[in-house]
Amino acid sequence: MPPPAGVLTKICTFFVHSLFAGEGVDDIDRQLLGLLRDNARTSVATLARKLRVARGTVQNRLARLENDGTIVGYTVRLRPQEESQRIRALTTVAVEGNRTDEVIRALRGDPAVGALHTTNGRWDIVVELRADSLESFDRVLGRIRLIEGISNTETSLLLSTHKL
């Protein structure tokens, strides 16, 4: 059954693992990945027509890109207003000493954590957080502050999203 009209901005997208660093990724592959990034549900026939290549060429390239790990998965992206957890934020974390792995393990266990990114500069980790309400968001921040190995945090609420 298809999803309700208007619920999904782009039904499927994909994650690309080192898009330009991968060996054997040529201009046609880059064009193919760009078309899939816009709409991963585009049919092979439509992709072939837009790329001006045979359907078999598109199918072979997709299989190769999946097998070599360039395309690592497909997903659904909802409009932010349709997500149940409407409070979203980025928290930057400074870690004491060499405790980054320990802190990441603790953060991974929290259901409010959507993604974790290690970084350079003043902050060691960027955490994407989601919560249903400001009250639950306050509890999330309280839990994070109690994690051993975190020396400092700074949180910014995401007010709106302009591009998905």
Q: 132 with 45: CB under 8 angstroms?
A: no
CA diameter of the chain: 57
Angle at 139 between CA 138 and CA 143, to 5 degrees: 120
Domains of the chain: 8-78 (1.10.10.10), 84-157 (3.30.70.920)
Q: What is the pTM of this model?
A: 0.53
Which residues, including other chains, have CB under 8 Å from residue 43's CB and lie 6 or more apart? none
Q: Of 160 and 44, which is predicted with more confidence?
A: 44
Confidence grade of residue 33 (pLDDT, cut at 50, 70, 90): confident
Q: Is pLDDT at 79 greater than 80 in this prediction?
A: no
Average pLDDT over residues 84-110: 90
Helix, strand or coil for residue 148? coil
Q: Is pLDDT at 6 greater than 50 in this prediction?
A: no
| Count of other CB atoms within 10 angstroms of residue 35 | 16
